[in-house]
Structure 1
Amino acid sequence: MGTATLALMIYVAIIIIWATVVKKNMAEGMILGFLVVGMFGGKNALGFIESAFVSALSNEVLFASLAFILMSYLIKESELLEGVLNIFDSLLGRFRGGPAFVNIGLSAIMGMLSGSNSANTATSGAFTAQWMIRTGWKKETVATLLAGNGGLGAGFPPSASMFIMLGFAQVNSLITVEELYIGLFISGVYQVIYRIFLVFYLMEKNGIRSGTSREEVSVFKALRNHWKSLTVFLGAIVPLLVTTGPLGEWLAAIGLEEGMSSVSLLTWIPILMITIILVLGRKNLKKNIKDTTYLVDTLFVHYKDIGGILLFAFAASEIFSKLGLVNELVTLFGSLDFSKPVMVLIVGMLVVLVAGPLSSTATLTSIGLIAFSALLSVGVSPLPAAVAILVFASTEGASPPASGSIFIASGLTDSRPEKTFIPLIKYFVVPITAIGWLIAMEFLPLFV
């Protein structure tokens, strides 16, 4: 066993013990893990620690992740999110099973905004939980769907898990930001398609025969009153159009290739979306954000943990890179002599099991790099490997018994959490793991 592999094992152990045994703040565990890993640099330890910390501070992914947190906060305070909800209601509210489809759509939208499974479950559930129960769904089934659909918070870009993967030097040297963004988006579409079929199945099983719109608002009226809310997504659409696809190719052909190549999705998507929110929601932001004290009290809680986790995860990955971790892991897994399908399944099960007691971000922080190296060692291409790992980790919201999404969903539906455990494993954990396996095996293409 090499020095870097030993350092990784100790690093993983520190993070898991800190989160599950000591039960302290994850960011604190990340700091401790980073310092311990730095000590493996021997006489160069202090230099390793200093250079890795400085490199992490200048990491574009760190800026983007914090910017997306701000964007998620502002869209709620600006009340633009309510407009999106009303449009979804008008489109699907009167259809059979409409509230369940609205929950899927809203979870996907929130996944592209917040990247948080628990926040996803709370936001979509607050809007759809009682609505679904009123239209005939059983409480436990509603809680199962809310918690399971909440996993789209990590299943769609941008997400903290995606930022962690991009922050690993061993990953971003093989995959571009644009490739991972689009690849994860396509995998999210696969998950949405599965959830749609699941709702149809559960509607038959539960005898759901009709839908009732929350406010009986026509699509035309909803779009007329709230169309401005949809313009927020131009902040993501425009940078994607000018850097990829036919428009990007045309701009490159007329001599703007150098300029377009300097457009960073991770930088410009949150900047443009925040700008649009500030312009469109300025009146409600002034009304809802009463003063600077309120701003600090309500915004800081979103930053205190994720900022520290990301910063020191990136810093630790820089040290692992200097220690030569990838070469050691590729050699190690290459010696195990597992076939590709078996290794992908083993890695998937490992990620899912770790994601049970931990969050998807903590899972990727602790074993994301070793999982990536393991998949590469059996011939999985870098992009499908990274996307599959993110899909495996997105089961966190549906993994009993420690998932916060389960208890949020149970609280919203006044149901017993333990009654959702087996359905969640059956309807979400196993099928989503299978989707990740199919992506890694390239049976489900990413079109990137």
Structure 2
Amino acid sequence: MNAKLDSGVTTRPVTRQTFDDVLVPTYAPAAMVPVRASGLDLWDQSGKHYLDFTAGIAVTSLGHGHPLLVDALTRQINTLWHLGNGYTNEPVLRLALALTEATFADRAFFCNSGAEANEAALKLARKYAHTKFGPHKSRIVSCLASFHGRTLFTVSVGGQPKYTEGFEPLPQEINHIPYNDIACARAAITDDVAAVIVEPIQGEGGVVPGDPAFLKALRERCDETGALLIFDEVQSGVGRTGALYAYMECGVTPDILTSAKALGNGYPIGAMLTTATIAEHFNVGSHGTTYGGNPLAATVALNVLDTINTPSFLARVKQASAQIFANLTKLAADYPQLFGKVRGSGLLIGLPVAETFAGRAKDFTKAAESLGLMLLIAGPGVIRLAPALIVSDAQIAEADRIMRGAADAVLAAA
């Protein structure tokens, strides 16, 4: 037995300080340590209650510990955990059928995260372009302020230099254009472009909705040049906007779509969806993953999809969204010195801070946390709300009450 371990390793006391002592410092988590949650309710080590309007960054869209998912996962745990990729399994086949039946896609590839889904999409796009047109067609066009993952390839495709500093040399043949800029898009997408990747709603970049005219211009230009259009719906997908996927309401169908986050409600899974014609360029051995599409993840995702993809569920998302937008619009009107104009879609919502508090969105989320409300930021100047899609009217009202208290606290400390 390792001398560094003791017999109480699974129950030894740990605190927030333990993070600083033993984990690589890639994050700066909150001082409180969550230990238990149900729905949108969460409790920390001291027993303090919080209302969770983060959903683990738009992940737990059916809330923490959803009984249907707990039951499905428990049954699968007692049936079959994992197989090497020399075998398939029933849950992943059912999930692939459900996703292809619900979307434009004919084929699905499963992995473990949004970054891996985007990595697969970009690799497939280049392989398709090289095979069909030749190696000269390799350039990838993305948008400034975008976010597509943390692998070296996807972080280079993302349009935020702060995430690539220190990791050079970066992959080549990647260019970035301003989001929602049609003229720049048309100029950038030329015959040497293999793929254009875009978030229909920029999440990490500030919760900025894509202009339908911009997204349509990307589609048109890709059609003209033979480039593939990739929609990154890692954050906007699986009901978050009030549609199963955001592309369904913007009048544009991509060639490849990536999904993750809410698809597994906290169980790691990612998916790349595409057409049969494009998919055939990923032949046997050209790409893979050890854990992707395992029976446990696929079982959870299938039940998530089955629950969310109903007219009544998606209609409720839009109803809840309207209530929160109304509350935030009133909040911004009552505190103009603190907030700008609310934006977003469905239950992916951004509230910019005013110029006088530029770069200080974190001050507000910390104040809200101290009062029992968990919120996110989307860059230093935007407060982000991404509650579970099952959020109730009472919880929406409670979040509004706490946000007003937090606004008073921030102004008092200014």
| Structure with more of its chain in helix, by fraction | 1
What TM-score, normalized to structure 1? 0.28
Using CA pairs under 8 Å that are at least 6 residues apart, name the structure with larger relative contact order, 1 or 2: 1
| Structure with more of its chain in strand, by fraction | 2
